[in-house]
Copies of this chain bind each other. A is one copy, B any other.
């Protein structure tokens, strides 16, 4: 890897940056927040959204960076809201998702995160996934987005009821970022 120094985390979402910065610190990696509204394409897979977004961001910033894309995939809704979770959160919100699963017996869902790293030489993606279910009502004030209605498997708490460090022990984003760090840390 030819470039040295800090790694840019490209995001329009400061919450995401803070979660990732916390994880990076534990591994002695310096990161900086590049508050760029990256281009997201309409696609059925986060991987496609992430890779296109990362390459377009690199074409602007011209330095090593990662982008992270995440979505909540509800099984009974054919994966909705998936790659469009952010837009769906802003429009119909948590109440909308609860309305849509109200009469469903299957409330299983997963959160997925895809992190794509780009530098001059390569584009590499890492995935993290956490299975769980949609809560009956929103609980907790931590996290962001759909965290108040997502209960990861094995837990009684929603993501929003956990503090950052606890959420970071098991979140989709932490899993993807940890895979990325295993790749990145030895190469710095």
A interface residue numbers (CB < 8 A to B): 39-42, 44, 49, 77-84, 86-88, 90-92, 96, 99-100, 102
Contacts and interface: CB of A to CB of B under 8 A. Distances in A.
Contacts of A96: 77, 80, 100
A99 B104 CA distance: 12
Given A41-B41, A41-B42, A78 B99 contact: no
Contacts of A88: 80, 84
A90 B78 contact: yes
Given A39-B41, A78-B90, A80-B87, 15 more contacts: A40-B41, A40-B42, A42-B87, A44-B87, A78-B91, A79-B91, A80-B88, A80-B91, A80-B92, A82-B91, A84-B84, A84-B87, A92-B100, A99-B99, A99-B100
5 contacts: A40-B42, A78-B92, A80-B96, A82-B91, A84-B84
B100 A102 contact: no
Contacts of A99: 99-100, 102
Contacts of A87: 42, 44, 80, 82, 84
Nearest to A49: B42
Contact of A84 (B41, B42, B79, B102): B42
Contacts of A82: 87, 91
A88 B91 CA distance: 13
A13 to B, nearest CB: 14
Contacts of A92: 77-78, 80, 100
Nearest to A77: B92
A94 to B, nearest CB: 13
Nearest to A93: B78
